[in-house]
Structure 1
């Protein structure tokens, strides 16, 4: 399923109508009926309900919803936001149809809304085309909905909330529930806008698939279905070499646990063989936690990898994929390691954590690289890579990710709520798993290990990236079902890997 901005949704609508000949009135009917059916599934038909209708397409949807609910016997009062003599544009057809069915409506009345005893208010005032601060009477209506006790269900998008990366205005409707039409909007995947939506259901409105693929950009959701369908197959006659030979480099005296977490996660994801390269002084510590990996002792300086990283100390030929960064620190040796891997590792390469720190100085080396490069920054690391503030990263997660990945010809995994995976061509995938339990040190190291494990077993780098991120989030979801997200420790996530894989395979 696609994720779209308001402008992209407009392109889809236009193509369906202008090029394919679909009637706009039919689209509104489909949208309104689909939304009404979802509302009827969620709420009791005995609830006293108000529908707030604005101008334009969202208003047209509102007339269809109100008509459908009334046809089913619901007690519905309709308030029309603009006055009767104002232009409703394409919604006029359904406004007239609603009237011909014998149903009436009222002009917007704050007093009647406040004292009407409504248990459910359906917000069908404004849609995806609205940006900036709300104006009267929508501003007053949004304030009343936010301050009142009635349940608020929004149609497509809460009124006032932008559809894309624009700022949320000072006042916008805070819905308890949103029925989104055709495809989720970008803002539903971004904070703080996401907090205005409440629970979300996405409904099919009969939009032709052809229209959806005519938009300029492509962004898709990635969830359980996509993961199950693309998990790498484990063949009956497989041997350890056929499931990949991986190299994991990192660690320092102050962070010996980071490579241990990454290594165990990689092996539990199914990698056949793994070599963990780290400073010699911490090898006994890490080896005690992950006896299944072989080790390569690297030259060190002050407990960190030294700059003497040359062929004999770190041979690259035996490996099918490599990852670097967990626990490495930001010393000069990490820069030397990262530069050598970028220039000489003729295989997929994953860079995370401290391996990302020096990348702004290595951009030309990145651009010259011929083999897949995967970067996994959190917003702070992304800010350094893109040379902007972390606030700017969080404001423009979609557009900034796309432009950076295309410019640097890399796969970019921008971590955070609804992690975004972007390919070098600019295609994007939004992850649907995960929760606040991941907000603790070391979970990024686990993602690096899972990602290396998937890259070793798959010929499709995009699928490997998306599945690693999805599985990583599922670990948190599984853990939250068993205990408080507050009390979990990072190693608990690795213990969930067998359970998550078993669950996915059982449901396939």
Structure 2
């Protein structure tokens, strides 16, 4: 499923009207009918049905026009509808003016909104047709007061395309912003509906066709997609089944090397290696400080341990990059960082790994912090093999040299820019994890839950992706599939517990 910006949606609308020949009013008619059907479905879902009275809040633009069409169809469905107009008719867009004239000839009840004059208790629900995807900035009056009144009413609100007050591209919310129970996205998902905090204001999101061909999104260069089972099956084989050939063996599924863990955080390495094996790689070697080996013998009998000289300190300060590169020569993928810690000249150590490793490379946790501290990163030799970075918002902020708040403001845009600029596949973790590729394709994940907001789940994700890289998936496949698989395991784990708050990162392993 494609996800569009407001500008991409405008271009798709224009192309459909100008080159395919579907009139704008026909698209508006389709939109209004779809909205009415979704409102009626909301009414039908209520346990005690009775005659319903709904209020349409109509702005002056085409979003308002969609609302007036919806009002006509709801009336035909037996719903009593009234329309609150926010502006005088002389300010309407051309298509909104047409719909206003039609509604008037049909005798639909319309009135011009005045603050404090609506008796909200007289209605059963609200349709938000105030501000469309092209709107920018904080809602002005009278929209702002009307939005606040609608939210305060406690009535269910169905928003058209996006909740009014929500930035359609970034998901940032202005004050005020409609708190919708349902949002009917027309033709395509808008970016703001799949990024927080906007996703939390949209309620249940339903995408309805209005006549714009879906194939146009691909043809017109839309490169942001919702990461679902269908996306995996159609664009990123293998699909979620992960079948295996009858005549395969452990060598068929690759050998991953994971350099991770120190005396205080050996658990991060253990989770990462366990996840790589659960993701299906045939063999896993865990490179770790030598003094930790005796403490970890038998903890994961399926993994091979490669103790590296640490002068008895249990850290990586004495380990050379050459020792890690030597181990990596015979492996199919290398992951570095979980629980590694910081030490000495670790930035140059990482540069040697970056430039010397011939296999696919994944950087997580402290390896990302090393990278963020590299003032000369732009001069590092470009890697030929795949490179995957898996930052959480704090690490992403350090990589980009911005605040966490700025990093969270437009996750899709930031991830895409960084991936393109540095030639990496970037996994920006968090609610609705974002996967961005070097050629600008972005996937927004649909799996996962708040129970995964606990220490160690990122180590599990790093292991899953590294294990898939070792099985010779491309970076795009491994990152996208790994993120989806990781979230799906979290969903299954949460379903097994009384509360998601009690989940541990290790709970995900048995559900991979």
Query: TM-score normalised to the size of structure 1?
Result: 0.93
Q: State the match for 1:339 in structure 2.
A: 351
Distance 2:95 2:309 in 1: 71
- Which of 67, 82, 104 aligns to 1:77? It is 82
Q: 1:394 offset after TM fit, Å? A: 0.6
SS, match of residue 241 in structure 1? helix
User: CA deviation digits over 1:182-234, x for unaligned, max 9?
Assistant: 22222222222222212211222221234323545511110132335523542
- Give the length in aligned residue pairs: 497
Q: Please state if 1:246 is matched with 2:256.
A: yes
8 Å CA contact 1:80–1:106 kept in 2: the answer is yes
In the other structure, the counterpart of 1:486 is 501
TM-superposition CA deviations, 1:405-444 (whole Å, max 9, x none): 1111000101111111000111111011111111111110
Task: Specify the SS of the correspondent of 1:295.
Answer: strand
Distance 1:287 1:259, change over 3 A: farther
- Name the residue aligned to 2:40: 40
Gaps of 5+ in 2: none
Report 1:380-391 matches (<5 A).
Answer: 380-391=394-405
For the residues of structure 2 that align with 1:408 and 1:217, how far apart are their CA atoms?
21
Whether the aligned pair in 2 keeps the contact of 1:52 and 1:80 (CA below 8 Å) is yes
Aligned residue number for residue 177 of structure 2: 172
Matching residue of 1:506: none
2:214 alignment partner, one of 209, 213, 224: 209
The answer to whether the 8 Å contact 1:307/1:336 transfers is: no
User: How many Å apart are 1:98 and its aligned residue?
Assistant: 3.1
Deviates more, 1:364-373 or 1:439-448: 364-373
Match of 1:379 in 2: 393
- Which residue, 134, 140, 150 being the options, matches 2:139? 134
Q: CA deviation at 1:149?
A: 2.0
Instruction: Provide the C-alpha distance between the structure 1 equivalents of 2:458 and 2:150, rounded to a whole number of angstroms.
Output: 40
Matching residue of 2:316: 305
How far apart, CA to CA, are the structure 1 residues paired with 2:261 and 2:392? 19
- State whether structure 2 residue 317 is matched by structure 1 residue 285: no
Within the alignment, does 1:191 sit opposite 2:196 as a pair?
yes
After superposition, where does 1:142-157 map in structure 2 within 5 Å? Answer: 142-157=147-162
Question: What per-residue deviation string (whole Å, max 9, x for no partner) do you get for residues 11-45 of structure 1?
Answer: 21112112222211111111111122122112236
Structure 1 residues 409-448: aligned runs within 5 Å: 409-448=423-462
Q: Aligned match of 2:511 in 464, 480, 496?
A: 496
* Distance in 2 (alpha carbons) for counterparts of 1:284 and 1:145: 64
Which of the numbers 94, 103, 118 marks the counterpart of 2:99?
Answer: 94
Q: Work out which of the residue numbers 455, 464, 482 in structure 1 matches 2:469.
A: 455
**2:327 aligned with 1:322:** no
- 1:60 aligned residue: 65
Q: What whole-Å deviation, never above 9, does each CA across 1:374-412 have from its counterpart, x for those lacking one?
A: 000011101111111111101121222111111110001
Equivalent residue of 2:38, what SS? helix
Q: Give the C-alpha shift of residue 161 in structure 1.
A: 1.3
Counterpart secondary structure, 1:131: coil
Q: For the residues of structure 2 that align with 1:447 and 1:365, how far apart are their CA atoms? A: 29
CA apart distance, 1:280? 0.9
Tell me what 2:281 maps to: 271
Partner Cα distance (2:449, 2:323) in 1:
43
Deviation at 1:99, TM superposition (A): 3.5
User: What's the secondary structure of 1:289's corresponding residue?
Assistant: coil
Which deviates more, 168-177 or 207-216? 207-216
Q: Which residue of 2 aligns with 1:500?
A: none
Is residue 386–residue 474 contact of structure 2 (8 Å, CA) maintained in 1?
no
Quote the offset at 1:87 in angstroms.
2.7
Q: Is the 8 A contact 1:15 1:214 kept in 2?
A: no
Provide the aligned C-alpha RMSD in A. Answer: 2.0
- Cα offset for 1:242? 0.8
2:265 is aligned to 255
Q: Which residue of 2 aligns with 1:502?
A: none
- For structure 1, the 5+ residue unaligned runs are 498-508
Instruction: Give the corresponding residue for 2:409.
Output: 395
CA distance in structure 1 between the aligned counterparts of 2:19 and 2:296, rounded to whole angstroms: 61
TM-score by length of 2: 0.92
